[in-house]
Amino acid sequence: MVNVMLAGGLALLVSLLGTPLFIRFLVRRGYGQPIHDDLTLHHVKRGKPTMGGAVVIGAALVGYFGSHLLLLGLDAGDLARVTTSPVSVSALLVLFLLVGLGAVGFLDDFTKIRAERSLGLTSRQKLAGQTLVTVVFAALALWLTDEHGKAPASTAISFVRDTRLDLAFAGPVVGSLLFLLWANLLITGASNGVNLTDGLDGLAIGASVMVFGAYTMISLWQHNASCSLAPGPSCYPGSDALDLAVVAAAVAGACFGFLWWNAAPASIIMGDTGSLSLGAALAGLAVLTRTELLLGVLGGLFVIVTLSVIIQVVSFRTRGKRVFRIAPLHHHFEVVGWAEITIVIRFWIVAGICVLAGLGLFYGEWVVTT
């Protein structure tokens, strides 16, 4: 537990203090955010420093590895006796997603800045980058095993734990291929969902804090009820739950610190560098904590925003009519006349309700099975 709190605190401190330094660097370089011409209400934000997600990623890495190093130092020097979790494969896989999709987002953001337009990488280029990172993650998560022969991921579709629906129904080869496709769908969907939600100051990063906080709680609960510590019919088989809680806490702390500067009126925008990486990390946590479908509840706000875009596109292509004034959904409410801060706070309320519902389902299932 000390490791989890230390990771979150370190990441929060680095993000809170490091963001203004990064803002000054971006301003000197002239790296500002291009704004789509249709978003007339956002033209005032044109040229605002972007790529702030780099701070979130850096702070999360410092929080995770820094907490491990500090606790090892304290233990080695007999300054404190604490229970620590070793650096695990599962945690490194989530951080790989965070950095990998952050790199794809960075290329997208940097392309926008260099070209001075609101469009960065093409859809195919972005999808290719997402797919490459996802396939590497999925392959390693399924094929790397620990000393007990257990892999971080499972071919079973999971909700609050693995279900009976196993992708390896026709053998391990077919199961591996289907898992690669399933993981790609989850990670691409989650990263694009956060990306679509990142349209108003503080909206996506604030919602992300809540979901990463939820995964910190879920991972801690899984550790305390793990089969190695508390064997029984309701125990959780994962062996790296505590270290996943450290990762989730580190990213949550990094997001919290960045929110100080990203809240309306934002001093910096996190860009695709942040939104793609955060969505991918959430999906990675869902896969490795065996809560894949539960992510759709915990991240319900991201699902709603994504659905608004899908509905808009399908309606326009099939009927020639728009359901919303403009998509994604938060921009529709802007056009209707809601103030930006009002939309953000009300959408945060929706995000909080979704997180509480997801946690209720998770803990409720454990109570039923005990």
pLDDT in tens, 239-288: 799 999 999 999 999 999 999 999 989 999 999 999 999 999 999 999 99
Average pLDDT over residues 33-44: 52
C-alpha span between 55 and 278 (Å, rounded): 12
Average pLDDT over residues 346-364: 96
* Residue 84 or residue 313, greater confidence: 313
Residues 6+ apart with CB under 8 A from 213: 248, 252, 355
- Comparing 112-116, 160-164, 188-192, which segment has the lowest mean pLDDT? 112-116
C-alpha span between 107 and 276 (Å, rounded): 11
Residue environment code for 328-362, b if the CB has 16+ CB neighbours within 10 A, otherwise e = bbbbbbbeeeeebeebbeebbeebeebbeebbebb
In the numeric block, which tokens belong to residue 367? 């109570």
Angle (deg, nearest 10), helices 2-29 and 53-76: 140
The model's pTM is 0.93
Give the CA count within 13 Å in the CB-facing half-sphere of 234: 12
Share of the chain above pLDDT 70, in %: 89
pLDDT value at residue 292? 97
In the numeric block, which tokens belong to residue 178? 């289907």
Residues 6+ apart with CB under 8 A from 191: 101, 130, 275, 276, 277, 278, 279, 280, 283
C-alpha span between 71 and 199 (Å, rounded): 39
In the numeric block, which tokens belong to residue 158? 């999971």
Q: Which of 9, 88, 56 is nearest to 285 (CA)?
A: 88
C-alpha span between 65 and 82 (Å, rounded): 16
For residue 117, pLDDT over 80 is answered with no
Residues 6+ apart with CB under 8 A from 267: 19, 20, 23, 48, 49, 261
Q: Which residues are bridge partners to 162 per DSSP?
A: 158
pLDDT digits (tens, 9 = 90+) for 286-301: 999 999 999 999 999 9
Q: Which of 53, 9, 14 is nearest to 31 (CA)?
A: 53
pLDDT value at residue 175? 92
Using CA of residue 235, residue 238, residue 242, residue 247, what is the dihedral sign? Answer: negative
C-alpha span between 264 and 43 (Å, rounded): 15
pLDDT digits (tens, 9 = 90+) for 325-335: 999 999 999 99
Q: Give the helix ranges, DSSP H, for the chain.
A: 2-29, 53-76, 89-115, 123-143, 172-197, 203-224, 241-262, 271-288, 295-298, 300-319, 329-336, 340-369
pLDDT value at residue 43? 45
C-alpha span between 216 and 365 (Å, rounded): 18
Residue 2 identity:
V
For residue 178, pLDDT over 70 is answered with yes
pLDDT digits (tens, 9 = 90+) for 146-167: 777 788 999 999 999 999 999 9
pLDDT digits (tens, 9 = 90+) for 127-150: 899 999 999 999 999 998 877 778
Q: Which of 236, 320, 265, 274 is nearest to 105 (CA)?
A: 274
CA-based angle 316:317:321, to the nearest 5? 25
